Structure 1
Amino acid sequence: MTNRPSAALCATLLLGACAATATEPPLAQRIANAAPATTVTARGETAPVGTPNADAADDPAIWRNAANPAQSLIVGTDKKAGLYVYGLDGKTRDFLDAGRVNNVDLRDGVTIEGRNGILVVASDRNDVAHAKLALFRLDPATAKLSALGKVDAGAGEAYGICLYRAPEATYAFVVLKDGTVNQIALDTSGAAPSGKIVRTMKLGTQSEGCAVDDRTGILYVAEEDVGLWRFDARPTGSIAPTKIAAADGKNLVMDAEGVAIAPMGEKDGYVLVSSQGDNAYVAYRLSDDSYAGRFRVVDGAIGGSEETDGIDLMLGDFGPGYPGGLFVAQDGHNATAAQNFKLVAWDDIVQALGIDR
């Protein structure tokens, strides 16, 4: 989330306190100007993060337990304090004090200290001048995180992070706050992790959210005030970006934030991006980058989500509560409690948008 005051906050402050955003239309106008959005409701939510009265919760990552889907886990960041692990019931299973970790991603089946495991990587911004990646192992039996170490990620402030499982290696893409994207080859096979920057890409302004489609080797990055881009994720590929969608205030309302992928078949599916400026989410087809629809998570038995930063999405069996898959969105305004994450069934989104499942 950017540091702009929210519409709700501005309503409670003196006019002068929000003068910095005078050129930005109020939320009601942004919603009115945007393309129509359908609605869904959350089926679950996590416990609030531990940092109250602050922009703290930021980004989730999903691990699906194929043997027992109901025991799947969600890792989420409190960017002021560390990493949480939640069950699908929303209860906190673990917390690890990792300081200022902003975004998080994970991959299963990675060789960690000589055996396969679940690798969790967070963008570490404890030193804003020198980006690092903080690496962890997630134990699926205990839902506990254990720190593996840190890897240098280049000069600048670490912001976004996403992982790519290629045939030859596991790569991390760290998105620095200025729009620089460093691709880092990770080695977690030994006693301590290591990493090497294999190439660098660049967007023009502040960027954060990203996701990689492991099937096709395509990286998607959100440049907050500009739009959604894709890159070739292969280390030998072109470093030139291709714009998928502009943050034009219609389909995508700046800030463009979290990014997630719904893979279908060999190369089809959707890429979703958080349209933070009007509390919505936008879907684009992976096959041709075309617009597929937009939706909001609104109040129901569980509250909706607003001003969302990070999102994650995984298709597959998550038990009867989340048919089709699980979509997780950070909620920037969780009633009177600290921020948390909302859980939505993928089938509910598919039905609302009228898209292919």
Structure 2
Amino acid sequence: MAACGGGETADNALTNMGNVSESAPAATPAPIVTAEVTARGETDVVGTANADAADDPAIWRDPADPAKSLIVATDKKAGLYVYGLDGKTRSFIKTGRVNNVDLRADVAIGGTDGVLVVASDRSDEANARVALFRLDTATAKLTALGTVPSIEGEAYGMCLYRDAGALYAFMVTKEGGIGQVALDLTGAQPVGRLVRRLKVGSQAEGCVVDERTHRLYVAEEDVGLWRFDARPTGAAEAVSIAKVDKQRLFDDVEGLAIASDGSEGDGGYLVVSSQGDNAYALYRLADDAYVGRFRIAKGRFGSTEETDGIEVIVGDFGPAFPGGIMIAQDGENAPAAQNFKLVAWDDVLKALKLK
């Protein structure tokens, strides 16, 4: 299925197939090739065993020594882990049910710059909240700052957006609601103000913002990918990028990540977890065009299956990940509990002949 560029809204998501002549059978689509890569590392397992518990990762890149960068990841039954790039647990904070996580560096928190971590708090299934933390990069420990309300519904997806000095959290609920919350961290306690509501038609979770283009991407699990204007004054129209077609995307469509090329334009890729067939699809940010797909296959650290959350950061992360790193939740890590696999982004680009 060709990717849809623009104009189709969430309220008008059915494709008009037109009239098909009975004497002209549809052509057989060309098979979709799925490349393979192997992981170069993995994290320790989460503490909740025998359950779907690990979910979503975020990455803080150490600008002074990229090999000392940190991974923050959720055990959605219990709390947040901080790992080193060697995969070893550096700390854990018990938070209760937090589902997705994101972070931003150089954020003014109570008058002092630091690394802000946010997570979708599911403790009240009727009212989604944003949980906020400060990451001490020297000790690799998280300190809870508090929670702020967002919108009604069960908290699922979470992503941050920074624009013109303002910081926003997008909360995606299980029911498909999306709330844009302006965050104020100047005082002793964080404050959140709901500035906009968006919506897709059914269960959704994964979200990510490309701050260069002010585009918010949301994964509607059984339907496909949508793009919104992330600016609080932007149009609320949802533009369809791609649908679940059992070729490029399989339901459930889960985690999303931006693999920027480092430019100030729109270069790079949107990376999507195609959970239904244990694969990942790439779409070009410049025009939403499908580029290719790959799997994390069996190797020294095992394969990934049923991936929920993913993250990709392009850039130097030391000798093991010189061109960037991808973190993917592994939903089947038997006989151990679930964990996260670490992949060199260069390996993905080479497998898809993009480098």
TM-score (ref. length: structure 1) = 0.90
The match for 2:247 is 250
The match for 1:165 is 162
- Structure 1, unaligned runs of 5 or more: 1-32
| Helix, strand or coil at the partner of 1:234 | coil
CA distance in 1, matches of 2:300, 2:275: 23
1:233 equivalent in alignment to 2:230: yes
CA distance in 1, matches of 2:312, 2:31: 24
Instruction: Output the amino acid matched with 2:65.
Output: N
| Helix, strand or coil at the partner of 1:348 | helix
Pairing of 1:201-240 with structure 2 (within 5 A):
201-240=198-237
| Helix, strand or coil at the partner of 1:70 | helix
1:115 equivalent in alignment to 2:140: no
Which of 163, 181, 200 does residue 197 from structure 2 map onto?
200
The match for 1:61 is 58
CA distance in 2, matches of 1:349, 1:325: 10
TM-score (ref. length: structure 2) = 0.90
CA distance in 2, matches of 1:301, 1:155: 43
The match for 2:343 is 344
* CA distances 1:167-222 after superposition (whole Å, capped 9, x unpaired): 13010000011111000000112110001010000000000000001111100000
- Structure 2, unaligned runs of 5 or more: 1-29
Pairing of 1:62-211 with structure 2 (within 5 A):
62-211=59-208
Q: Higher helix share goes to which structure? A: 1
Task: Classify 1:196/1:91 alpha carbon distance in 2 versus 1 (closer, same or farther; 3 Å).
Answer: same
1:316 equivalent in alignment to 2:353: no
CA distance in 2, matches of 1:247, 1:35: 14
How much identity, in percent, do the aligned residues show? 64
Alpha-carbon offset, residue 154 of structure 1? 1.6
Pairing of 1:39-54 with structure 2 (within 5 A):
39-54=36-51
CA distance in 2, matches of 1:34, 1:273: 19
Instruction: Output the amino acid matched with 2:177.
Output: T
Alpha-carbon offset, residue 335 of structure 1? 2.4
Pairing of 1:319-330 with structure 2 (within 5 A):
319-330=318-329
CA-based RMSD = 1.0
| Helix, strand or coil at the partner of 1:49 | coil
Judge conservation of contact 1:34–1:249 (CA < 8 Å) in 2.
Answer: no
CA distance in 1, matches of 2:73, 2:243: 28
Alpha-carbon offset, residue 34 of structure 1? 7.4
Task: Classify 1:305/1:115 alpha carbon distance in 2 versus 1 (closer, same or farther; 3 Å).
Answer: same
Pairing of 1:267-306 with structure 2 (within 5 A):
267-306=266-305
CA distance in 2, matches of 1:178, 1:354: 38
Query: Number of matched residues?
Result: 324
| Helix, strand or coil at the partner of 2:49 | coil
| Helix, strand or coil at the partner of 1:351 | helix
